[in-house]
């Protein structure tokens, strides 16, 4: 994927990330294509490569059904921003409330830390659809690389083959 991005200049010289859902990992690159970091990531609880219509509105009210908790595949023009609580995030697709963000301090934090620390990707299905990384990785890698300007996020499919160019037709 990275080779294709660089050969075709698809990222337009912007920083970019590749999310491999099958391995539950995120790889972050600067605008020249140099790897700045990689780590395990938590992904949507439900397998699937699509965005469920209206999930963005339901995410704001906390009413996302289990079958809607997918991390969509595709190519996304992303940008740094803030969520409703004022926390820094990388908006991958704002309309569907799909973001990359740090592990939040809440009741699930300890269990999610344990999931991120295991070697297996099988237990990394723990989000409503966002890509969640450790606080340290977010602060040391995500924020300085993707959090200062627009970037591109490529999310690899898990239920079908990779087709290039990778585009999410449902993204707004």
Residue located via tokens 């704002």: 94
Q: What CATH code is carried by the domain that includes residue 21?
A: 2.40.440.10
Q: What is the number of alpha carbons within 13 Å of residue 170 lying toward its C-beta?
A: 15
Taking the CB of residue 110, how many other CB atoms lie within 10 A of it? 10
Please indicate, yes or no, if residue 87 is contained in any of the structural domains.
yes
Q: 95-109: per-residue pLDDT in tens?
A: 888 999 999 877 677
**CA 52 – CA 50 distance, rounded (Å):** 6
Average pLDDT, the chain: 88
Q: Residue 23 and residue 40: Cα distance in Å, rounded? A: 8
Nearest to 78 by CA among 149, 134, 10: 149
Residue 167 lies in a domain: no
- Residue 171 pLDDT: 40
- Edge-to-edge strands of the sheet including 16-20? 35-40, 25-29, 16-20, 151-156, 74-82, 88-93, 98-102, 131-133
Query: Is 85 contained in some domain?
Result: yes
Residues 67-87: tens digit of each pLDDT: 878 899 999 999 999 998 899
- Expressed as residue numbers, the domain containing 38 is 2-156
Q: With H, G, I as helix, E, B as strand and everything else as coil, classify residue 58.
A: helix
Tokens for 35, please give them.
Answer: 């790897």
Model confidence pLDDT, tens digit, residues 109-127: 778 888 888 888 989 998 8
Is 101 contained in some domain?
Answer: yes
| Segment holding 82, helix H or strand E | strand 74-82
Q: 102: which strand partners?
A: 133
19: in domain: yes
Output phi, psi for 58, to 5 deg: -70, -30
Centroid of chain to Cα 172: 16
Per the CB < 8 A criterion, the answer to whether 19 and 71 are in contact is yes
* Cα–Cα distances in angstroms (integers) from residue 100 to residues 3, 7, 19, 76, 163, in the given order: 23, 26, 10, 12, 23
Mean pLDDT of 50-75: 79
Model's pTM, two decimal places?
Answer: 0.89
Please state the domain count of the chain: 1
Asked if residue 69 is part of any domain, the answer here is yes
pLDDT for the residue numbered 166: 67
- Band of pLDDT at residue 54, cut at 50, 70 and 90: low
Residue 9, domain member (yes or no): yes
Task: Establish if 172 belongs to a structural domain.
Answer: no
């Amino acid at each position: 994927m990275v080779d294709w991005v660089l050969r075709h200049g698809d990222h337009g010289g912007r920083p970019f990330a590749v999310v491999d859902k099958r391995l539950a990992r995120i790889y972050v690159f600067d605008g020249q294509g140099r790897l700045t970091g990689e780590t395990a990531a938590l992904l949507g609880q439900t397998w699937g490569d699509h965005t469920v219509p209206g999930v963005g509105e339901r995410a704001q009210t906390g009413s996302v059904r289990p079958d809607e908790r997918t991390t969509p595949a595709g190519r996304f023009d992303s940008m740094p921003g803030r969520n409703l609580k004022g926390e820094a995030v990388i908006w991958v697709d704002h309309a569907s409330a799909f973001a990359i963000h740090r592990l939040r301090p809440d009741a699930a934090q300890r269990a999610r830390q344990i999931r991120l620390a295991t070697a297996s990707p099988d237990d990394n299905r723990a989000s409503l659809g966002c890509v969640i990384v450790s606080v340290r990785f977010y602060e040391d890698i995500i924020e300085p690389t993707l959090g200062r300007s627009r970037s591109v996020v490529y999310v690899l499919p898990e239920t079908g083959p990779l087709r290039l160019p990778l585009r999410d037709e449902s993204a707004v």
